Structure 1
Amino acid sequence: MGRAVGALVLAFVLMVSSTAAAIWWTARQDSRPSSDAIVVLGSAQYNGVPSSVFEARLEHALSLYEDGVAPVVVTVGGKAAGDQFTEAEAGRDYLAGAGMPAEALLAVQEGVDTLESMRAVAAAFAEQGWSRAVLVTDPWHAMRAERMAEDAGIEAESSPTRQGPAVQTRTTQFRYILRETAAYLVYRVTGESVAGAPGIG
């Protein structure tokens, strides 16, 4: 009995550590294949103004667009109760203000977490006849975002931003890796996002 329990504990530790290592490895990659669209995962916005986390993602997406990675940038994300703007609207307007043409922007105004957002983006891709995407998010979020996008039917690779609060200190990075490890494992086991956990879903 003791050996069985020990084996289960060891298997759990190995699963968690290997997942954390994979998240760390994916965070260090920067894939920029020619794609149908660059997809920016939403984050907080304040009365239509992107938060510092969201702004870092948008600036990186703008750089990818200017480098010719894709002809369209898709911003995605809904809004919380009481908000006047969706994350997708705030992101689209920010990029328009930075000089991107309207025809190069698509706002998918749905999704309160990564899973809902990826499913909404997949529906928009199907309408447009698109299949390939480069995802822009924070480094530690990249592996889970890629997995959810692929499960939704999108051929996805990621080009994480290297700016913003999520990458400022080693302590912050370690905390995000722990959170993402838990969120990724929950998704792989249940097929759902973590409920009631702001910033993780």
Structure 2
Amino acid sequence: MNTRPPTRWTPQPHGVWTGLALGAALGIAATFLGEVRATPGLLLGLLGVGALAGLFRPLRLGLTAGMGAAALLTAFCLLTPVLRGPLSALIVSQPPVKADAIVVLGGGVRCGTDALSGSSFSRLMRGLELWQAGYAPILTVSEQSGLIGEKDCPKISVLQNAQIAALYGKNEPPTLTLSNVTTTRDEAARVRDLARQRGWTRVLLVTSPWHSRRAQALFRGYGVTAVSVPSQETGFDLTLPTPGDRLAALQVLLYEGLSRVKAALGGTPER
């Protein structure tokens, strides 16, 4: 009986287990480093890709080599301050000037405790600081759409307005809510419409430092003159003195990179 000798592309069932392990590792990396939502579909898809690659030796070796290189690169980023340059390139910080409104971009909310995330709180405090200093007479806050967070998660705008009321009482600043927003692009579109309705010519744009350059570019793309006055960074030290700070910086760099890729491909960037 004639049998063909095995080739490089002969399926090797024993390699499936290696492939599954690589797929699981991909899922963990995508979820943790890239801040991708860990949906069952995503994780099952990556497991399937890993299992398929494990069947064929060239694909298995290529996937293993790629993940090894990514692990070495990640270690290099965590052990050295090499990310300082790329991180600083994301930041636009300008002196505040007189404007028509202060736009406080949405950050996040802790659904389980009904509390603002550190970024949301920091952005709000920066906006209120600018208002109290007299740079603009009105603030905007954002109400996230139902596509963000859990079903019963409180709205960022509700929590921020409650915080404003607690701080200022009857002397609180006038506040407008940008309703039903999913992305920064949505916020830019809402502010553009308000600017046309109210005759605004310039706004102060408040967001996290690493989000400031992309946010300003989006607002300018919608015809809104936006001066970037970012809030303090609460998640990590921007000078990256420790591996923990560098890991957080790596996360936001990947997040911002993915947002730009999605925008270039015609998709909707994440917040």
TM-score (norm 2): 0.57
What's the Cα RMSD here? 2.6
Determine the C-alpha separation between the residues in 1 that align with 2:87 and 2:261: 11
Larger RCO (CA under 8 A, 6+ residues apart): 1
Determine the C-alpha separation between the residues in 2 that align with 1:109 and 1:68: 25
Residue 181 (structure 1) aligns with:
257
Determine the C-alpha separation between the residues in 1 that align with 2:212 and 2:133: 20
Deviation for aligned residue 1:79? 3.4
Deviation for aligned residue 1:84? 6.2
Quick one: which of 139, 142, 162 aligns to 1:76?
142
Determine the C-alpha separation between the residues in 2 that align with 1:108 and 1:22: 31
Residue 29 (structure 1) aligns with:
93
Unaligned runs of 5+ in 2: 1-83, 239-244
Deviations 1:129-157 (A, max 9, x none): 21211111111100111111111121012
Whether 2:199 is the aligned partner of 1:129: answer yes
Whether 2:43 is the aligned partner of 1:43: answer no
Moved over 4 A (4+): 20-23
Deviation for aligned residue 1:190? 4.3
Calculate percent identity across the aligned residue pairs.
22
Equivalence map 1:80-159=2 (5 Å):
80=146, 82-83=151-152, 85-99=154-168, 101=171, 104-159=174-229
AA partner of residue 29 (structure 1): S
Unaligned runs of 5+ in 1: 1-19, 195-199
Determine the C-alpha separation between the residues in 2 that align with 1:66 and 1:57: 14
Deviations 1:42-87 (A, max 9, x none): 1223476322221111111111111112111111232336236432
Deviations 1:81-106 (A, max 9, x none): 62364322322232222217455211
